[in-house]
């Protein structure tokens, strides 16, 4: 039976790869994004653009559209987020609030509002994108790592909260993801060591599958290139 899958940040490079992976297996996919429209179409997907996931009312409206169109919500993949590199001395304190909003508040908001639908599912799944860089923050990574560390703690706490339900909660901790933006920002790097978006999508697909039913509260490093 086809599942109802939501991918936030679904118009971006990683979100699009994750959404496409679920679509290939016949699932009903909804891509929700802050951007007004997707750069690349995904056949059969329900695309909902222009959604501020820190806004509870806007997020609820998007969830209601998905539930009505796809008959509920079975899988929520929290990809939406952002990145900044700046030192504390040379940076802006506003960046800390911005990273918190983009990376943690977005995930917490849609996850809380989707819980009734996910708990009603025969096998609800919540999978978020954390960061390997949040395990130990390097110079300039403070604001970003703090927000992604929040995603890790949200994952662990919510997994315990939902232990008596059929919902699992996990997070992926990628190293550097091979995207056009990262290549432009780090042109001298060895791209072969970077993680492919499709490889991350494969791990997410496993966690969302019946085979991943016993895994919850896990922070899973995904670091291998090639």
What is the token pair recorded at 118? 């996910």
Cβ pair 205, 25 in contact under 8 A: yes
- Backbone conformation region of residue 171, classed left if phi is above 0, alpha if psi is from -120 to 50, else beta: beta
Cβ pair 143, 84 in contact under 8 A: yes
Active site residues: 144
**The residue to which tokens 């653009």 are assigned:** 49
Distances (CA, A) of 208 to 12, 104, 130, 170: 20, 21, 16, 10
């Amino acid at each position: 039976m086809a599942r109802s899958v939501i991918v936030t940040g679904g118009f971006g490079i990683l979100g699009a790869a994750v959404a496409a992976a679920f679509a290939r297996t016949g699932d009903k996919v909804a891509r929700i994004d802050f951007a007004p429209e997707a750069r690349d179409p995904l056949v059969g997907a329900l695309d909902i653009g222009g959604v501020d996931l820190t806004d509870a009312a806007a997020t609820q409206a998007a969830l209601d559209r998905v539930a009505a169109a796809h008959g509920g919500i079975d899988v929520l993949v929290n990809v939406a987020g952002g990145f900044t590199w700046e030192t504390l001395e040379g940076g802006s304190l506003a960046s800390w609030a911005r990273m918190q909003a983009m990376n943690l508040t977005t995930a917490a908001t849609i996850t809380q509002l989707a819980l009734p639908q996910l708990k009603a599912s025969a096998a609800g799944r919540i999978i978020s994108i954390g960061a390997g860089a949040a395990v130990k923050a390097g110079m300039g990574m403070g604001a970003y790592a703090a927000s992604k560390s929040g995603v890790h703690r949200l994952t662990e706490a919510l997994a315990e909260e939902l232990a008596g339900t059929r919902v699992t909660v996990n997070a992926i901790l990628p190293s550097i993801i091979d995207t056009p933006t990262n290549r432009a920002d780090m042109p001298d790097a060895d791209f072969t060591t970077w993680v492919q978006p499709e490889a991350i999508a494969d791990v997410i697909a496993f966690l969302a599958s019946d085979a991943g039913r016993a895994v919850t509260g896990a922070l899973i490093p995904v670091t291998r290139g090639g």
